[in-house]
Structure 1
């Protein structure tokens, strides 16, 4: 499966107007994203929690007109993972709260994508990567809006 990833510095000077986020604030934003990703994911028109589990939740989203069921798993204050596996496509997307070598807080996404339509098109993967980076930026903005 093709993989894409990117990391964004949570408290980069160009982001946030001086509002510094800590791990707890980023975690709270990731939980909000899991509950209602329409707040941060372009093209997502609906996000509904179907079931809560001991380790996360199951949700139904509508993204670009397609209805998708995802299992969302929580690793508290470290990772939120989104899993889809059906006859049309499979993916695993991780949102990780990490620190770089200098101790700077990062929000990293890692995605493994099998979109069910043959070999991965590099241009399509780059568009997907750009979309995920935009969602991470929107997630950080959401974190700042609730502080």
Structure 2
């Protein structure tokens, strides 16, 4: 299955929309990787097991269910999430990138990809997953906007530092 969608960040035609700069948007997206419990309410906890300037390896805990993944990032541009096959989980990827077709006009592109067939009984399940992914992403952008409005994404001078404490 492959699924891709865009969320508009700065709509200059809508005065009700708060405008985010690239740094705020980037720090919010990076926060989704480094503090996933802020974005996934049913996640019990997480652990960062390895961290470098451009990647982190994590263990995500959902009660008795655990997921190992790795997140690589190109600062101020994109995050790539990799979940290797493990137990009943198939290998999957998520890429989140910042698109800027015009100066200051940001969109966030989400690309989900896995090896699940997109036919037969799986097709209905994949439709459900697509809908859930999109709602999660919309909610993530809503949270990023909220954190930005609170001034919590204006912080560090380096791209890999996190503006919020756990």
Q: Please classify the TM superposition score into its range, dividing by the shorter chain length.
A: 0.7 to 0.9
Could you tell me how far apart the structure 2 residues matched to 1:126 and 1:65 are? 26
- 48 and 93 in structure 1: CA distance in 2 versus 1, 3 angstrom threshold: same
Could you tell me how far apart the structure 2 residues matched to 1:79 and 1:26 are? 11
| Aligned residue number for residue 123 of structure 1 | 124
Could you tell me how far apart the structure 2 residues matched to 1:16 and 1:70 are? 39
Could you tell me how far apart the structure 2 residues matched to 1:81 and 1:73 are? 5
Secondary structure of the residue aligned to 1:105 is strand
- 99 and 49 in structure 1: CA distance in 2 versus 1, 3 angstrom threshold: same
Question: Which range moved further: 52-61 or 17-26?
Answer: 17-26
Question: Which range moved further: 31-40 or 128-137?
Answer: 128-137
- 103 and 84 in structure 1: CA distance in 2 versus 1, 3 angstrom threshold: same
Question: Which range moved further: 75-84 or 127-136?
Answer: 127-136
- 48 and 59 in structure 1: CA distance in 2 versus 1, 3 angstrom threshold: same
Contact 1:35 1:48 in 2 (8 A): no
Query: Which structure has the higher relative contact order (CA within 8 Å, separation 6+)?
Result: 1
- 87 and 140 in structure 1: CA distance in 2 versus 1, 3 angstrom threshold: closer
Could you tell me how far apart the structure 1 residues matched to 2:63 and 2:78 are? 25
Could you tell me how far apart the structure 2 residues matched to 1:110 and 1:44 are? 22
- 103 and 37 in structure 1: CA distance in 2 versus 1, 3 angstrom threshold: same
Question: CA RMSD for the aligned pairs?
Answer: 2.7
In terms of fraction of residues, the more strand-rich structure is: 1
The Cα offsets for residues 67-96 of structure 1, whole Å up to 9 and x where unpaired, read as 110010011111111101134320110011
Q: What is the 5 A alignment of 1:1-147?
A: 2-12=1-11, 17-41=16-40, 43-63=42-62, 66-88=65-87, 89-100=90-101, 104-114=105-115, 119-120=117-118, 121-147=122-148
TM-score (norm 1): 0.81
Q: Where do 5+ consecutive residues of structure 2 fail to align?
A: 149-166
